[in-house]
Amino acid sequence: MAADCIFCKIAAGEIPAEKIYEDDKILAFLDLKPSSRGHALVIHKFHTADFASTPDGILNEIVPAVKRIAAGIMKATGAAGFNLTTNNGPAAGQVVFHLHFHIIPRYAGDGLKLFPQHESEKSKRQMLAEEIKKNLA
Ligand code: 5GP
Ligand code: ZN
């Protein structure tokens, strides 16, 4: 447990939340400010700041739980789909530095636009793809 971490405090029961799933390692609860009905957050009780700094062993435990919880949310809400996101770092909008996955249920015609897109040039995409490939460990 990390001192002053809101999500560690929720996991410890020190801050209330509408919990929807809990076991010895995983906790899921409804987001305080939902993007859509049923918007939930899934955390591992082992504190890590963000996705990039989380050991693979922890990710291996949380991802199947996210899948199961998303299925339950879909059934309960009647959602037609869901977005699964994690904000990694302040530039990506992360404000709580305990890894969490957002499950955002989507409803037909809800008009939510989470990822604005723009056109790109093929030559620039190709150069960028090469640069990224070189930097992959
Ligand atoms: P992020 O760090 O990915 O930007 O998002 C943090 C999310 O946690 C936000 O969607 C915010 O509404 C939610 N959140 C922040 N504090 C609390 C809290 O105390 N309880 C609950 N249930 N959600 C919270
Ligand atoms: Zn924490």
Walk along the chain (137 residues) and give the pLDDT tens digit of each residue: 888 999 999 999 999 999 999 999 999 999 999 999 999 999 999 999 999 999 999 999 999 999 999 999 999 999 999 999 999 999 999 999 999 999 999 999 999 988 889 999 999 999 999 999 999 97
pTM: 0.96
Query: What integer pLDDT is reported at residue 118 of this predicted model?
Result: 94
- Helical (H) or strand (E) element with 22: strand 19-22
- CB under 6 Å to ligand 1: residues? 6, 15, 17, 29-33, 41, 87, 93-96
| Nearest CA among 19, 11, 18, 22 for reference residue 96 | 11
* The one-letter amino acid at 46: F
Give the ligand 1 atom nearest the CA of 6. Answer: 19
Query: What integer pLDDT is reported at residue 115 of this predicted model?
Result: 85
* 104 Cα to the center of ligand 1, angstroms: 13
Residue pointed to by tokens 């209330």: 16
User: Which 8-state DSSP code applies to residue 79?
Assistant: -
Asked about 98 being catalytic, the answer comes back as no
Residue pointed to by tokens 């990506």: 92
| Nearest CA among 28, 60, 30, 25 for reference residue 46 | 25
